[in-house]
Amino acid sequence: MRISMKVAVIGAGLCGLIAARELERESHEVVVFEKSHRLGGVWVYDPRTESDLLGVDPQREILHATIYKSLRTNSPRQIMGFSDYTFQGKEYGDPRMFPGHEEVLRYLEDFAEKFAVTKLIRFNSEVTRVDLIRSGNEFLVEWKRSGVSSSSSSTEVFDAVVVCNGHNSQPRLALDIPGMK
């Protein structure tokens, strides 16, 4: 007999959507925290750029924008997608072999709707802290509504946490190399 768990998934990009679907398929109670107003993660294009491209200023506005306007995938549509929800055959208005980011985002939105993952997502909800509770069997997840002061944070207890927040929004710099100067 399976034990149903309450699981927090952090991030509603490609990995977060897949994790949420598979966890729900296994009869777990799933909550997806997405700090932006829409799903898609890295595939959501934002024309703005950060004022501090190296990410040195901790007070800068952080934009989770890692793609450019004309980006196309380097994988042909014939091999993209999931085994039970293929990319090939979807009509997104561009028949070329390598889809653009707009098509990938539409595919992810369609996937989330088809498998009812969208209803699991708390949009504009940023996770600010995750702590293991002393018993070692549960996690305390602190989160707040994006754009709202930290005084309005909430906490919830989960049996498991899946972190799917990506790694491309924070520059990685080699600032302290011996002999660099």
- Write out pLDDT tens, residues 106-146: 999 999 999 999 999 999 999 999 999 988 789 999 999 97
Looking at every residue in the chain, the average pLDDT score rounds to: 88
The mean pLDDT of 49-54, rounded to a whole number, is: 72
Q: What is the mean pLDDT of residues 22-33?
A: 97
Predicted pLDDT of residue 170: 62
pLDDT top residue among 22 and 62:
22
What distances in angstroms separate CA 123 from CA 39, 42, 91, 113, 145, one per listed residue? 8, 15, 27, 15, 8
Of residues 119 and 46, more confidently modeled: 119
Q: What is the pTM of this model?
A: 0.85
Confidence of residue 167 (pLDDT cuts 50, 70, 90): low
Q: 């504009």: which residue's tokens?
A: 124
| Chain-centroid distance, C-alpha 20 | 11
Q: For residue 154, report the phi and psi dihedrals to the nearest 5 degrees.
A: -125, 160
Q: Which domains does the chain have, with CATH numbers?
A: 6-69+101-163 (3.50.50.60)
* 96 vs 17 pLDDT, higher one: 17
What pLDDT does 173 receive?
Answer: 67
